[in-house]
Amino acid sequence: MAAEADGPLKRVLVPLLLPEKCYDQIFVQWDLLHVPCLKILLSKGLGLGIVAGSLLVKLPQVFKILRAKSAEGLSLQSVMLELVALTGTMVYSITNNFPFSSWGEALFLMLQTVTICFLVLHYRGQTAKGVTFLVCYALVLLVLLSPLTPLSVVTLLQASNVPAVVGGRLLQAATNYQNGHTGQLSAVTVFLLFGGSLGRIFTSVQETGDPLMAGTFVVSSLCNGLIASQLIYYWNVKAPIKKKKQ
């Protein structure tokens, strides 16, 4: 009877959330306080939650730009540097065969960030340049994921994430400060990115044991926290409406 009951549950949990050894430890031996297995369960669950959340995390930003028909307040250089960091994390993780739950959000955030880059260029009247950017980025990504790219280059790209994240966020912070408002920056997107990067510190340590990955998310959390604090500070400040030329 117990074996029959365990069947469907085991198929759901193993190996998606737990290795079989931990499943037996918790659900067969009923050792509900087995710390190593609980840490694995927490890390896997948190990681998959972050990946699932990333499917929507930047959509509020995309919709806000589309509604306003403007990307005012967004720093293109900041968005580009964020794209470099996301690309580095994704390529590095795929190359090292890390579990999808430890990096999957980078894939979905990358797709949404590419969209934002195009929209910023489009609403600046540079649509052709935006299309060229999309084509060039796709080609670069294909090369990075191909066997042509040595591991040393992929590792260097991941190592460049820290300055890319810091530079990108500082550029956005400087833009907010100079404007005296956060423009079309989406509060939902910023706070979700902040929470996700905090959670990724734990999952990176637990699932990959890679100090480069964990360090990147520590820096990312600090920088996302800076932008989040600016959003709170400028919460009631609206971007001035630009008058159209007669």
pLDDT tens digit string along 192-201?
889 989 988 9
Alpha helices in 29-181 (DSSP H): 35-54, 59-68, 76-95, 104-122, 127-144, 151-159, 161-179
Q: Residue 82 in contact with residue 165, Cβ under 8 Å? A: yes
Predicted pLDDT of residue 5: 44
Is residue 6 very low, low, confident or very high in pLDDT (cuts 50, 70, 90)? low
Using CA atoms, how far apart are residues 103 and 59, in angstroms rounded to an integer? 19
Local structure of residue 101 (DSSP, 8 states) = G
Query: What's the residue count for the chain?
Result: 246
The token duo for 51 is: 């990946």
pLDDT tens digit string along 12-53?
778 778 888 888 888 888 888 888 888 888 888 888 888 888
Average pLDDT, the chain: 87
Dihedrals φ, ψ of 193, to 5°? Answer: -65, -40
Task: Record the pTM.
Answer: 0.74
Local structure of residue 245 (DSSP, 8 states) = P
Is residue 245 very low, low, confident or very high in pLDDT (cuts 50, 70, 90)? very low
236-to-148, 172, 180, 183, 194 alpha-carbon distances in Å:
51, 18, 11, 11, 21
